[in-house]
Amino acid sequence: MSNASMTTHALQTATSREQTSNGHLSGTSGTNVGDAERMLSAAGGVLLAMCGMSGRGVMNQVVLPIVGGMMVYRGLTGHCSIYSRLGISTAESSSHTSVPAGAGFKVEHSVTIHRPASELYQFWRKLEQLPRFMSHLKEVKVLDSRRSHWVAQAPLGMKVEWDAEIINERPNELIAWRSLENADVDTAGSVHFVSLPGGATEVQVTLKYNPPAGKVGATLAGWLGEGPEKQIQEDLARFKQLMEAGGVASNQGQLAGRT
């Protein structure tokens, strides 16, 4: 196993242990670390892990990545167990929903699928079906006609959860959504279904998101190959395969069909 693989594994082990004791990404005890401190903690954790990659011995390949993983977890979740025990909080309260103007990151991707727009729209609108081609989604639970609860896989084996609502909808053409207050990840986005000649459809996805720990969290996700840009591209490729071929290829080469 390479040093990079060992370091990533150690980071995942460290954060998984923290997650087991504290719950999902936000931590069941709440956010008590301010934004600036979170960024410094996450960046410092990544640097410690990278230092471990360049050395040998238990200190470099085990201890530094584990400590780094704990710091990364602290930065991503905004939760510090020591602060919690001491009753300390450096976090600022916030009541905003979705992604504030000028904040976060924007990702756009499109794919042409040789199926009618109405069929693609109807499949996507059944939100509970999205995990069938969105590999990072663990579950989508529909709460009512407009609200739903989402659970997704996050970097380093963690998970994030949020409630979302549909804010704009045109049958067979558009679905737009945003996350609600107290979400682990603030996000807003839309999917357009544009009819093309010959019965094909261009599916256009736009996503705006504000990951935990801001730019540091996004950089870490990209470093681990789990950035939203790559995820959306791969998810749309699976959606195309599912709708055109009737299934998505598994690791064993088998097709998981659609209903």
249 and 177 housed in the same domain: yes
Note down the domain range covering 64.
Answer: 3-86
Extract the tokens encoding 63: 């201890």
In a domain, 61, yes or no: yes
**Are residues 109 and 184 located together in one domain of the fold?**
yes
Mark whether 66 and 114 lie in a shared domain.
no
In a domain, 10, yes or no: yes
| Segments in the chain forming alpha helices (H) | 3-22, 35-53, 57-58, 64-77, 81-86, 117-125, 214-223, 228-245
pTM: 0.60
Question: Residue 259 and residue 252: Cα distance in Å, rounded?
Answer: 21
Claim to verify: residue 81 and residue 143 sit in the same structural domain: no
Q: What is the CATH number of the domain that holds 143?
A: 3.30.530.20
Give the chain's mean pLDDT: 75
Q: State the pLDDT at residue 256.
A: 55
Does 169 reside within a domain? Answer: yes
Could you tell me which of 179, 197, 50, 177 has the C-alpha nearest to residue 125? 177
The yes-or-no verdict on residue 195 having pLDDT over 50 is: yes
**C-alpha to C-alpha distance for 88 and 218, rounded to whole angstroms:** 27
73 or 220, higher pLDDT: 73
- Claim to verify: residue 126 and residue 204 sit in the same structural domain: yes
Which is higher by pLDDT, 7 or 27? 7
In the prediction, which pLDDT does 252 show? Answer: 43
Comparison of pLDDT for 59 and 211, the residue scoring more: 59
Could you give the CA distance from residue 131 to residue 22 in angstroms, rounded to a whole number? 25
Same domain, 127 and 247: yes
Give the pLDDT of residue 98. Answer: 55
Give per-residue pLDDT as tens, 128-181: 999 999 988 999 999 999 999 999 887 666 788 899 999 999 999 999 999 998
**86-98 pLDDT per residue, tens:** 666 666 544 444 5
Q: Does 109 lie in the same domain as 72?
A: no
Q: How many domains does the chain have?
A: 2
- Give pLDDT tens digits for 203-246: 999 988 776 544 445 554 554 445 677 888 999 999 999 999 87
The whole-number pLDDT of residue 156 equals 62
Q: Is there a domain that residue 93 lies in? A: no
